[in-house]
Structure 1
Amino acid sequence: MSERKQTAAENTAAVEKTGPVVYCGPSVKNTVKQFTVYSDGDALPDAVADFLNRIPAARGLMVPIADFANTRAALENPKSGAGIIFAAVKAALN
Structure 2
Amino acid sequence: MSEQQVRVADHPERDRFEITVDGELAGFADYRRTPGHVDLVHTEIDPAHQGVGLAGTLAKTALDSLRAEGVQVTPSCSYIAAYIRKHPDYLDLVPESARADL
Q: Using structure 2 for the length normalisation, give the TM-score.
A: 0.27
- The structure richer in helix per residue is 1
**Higher RCO, Cα 8 Å, sep 6+:** 1
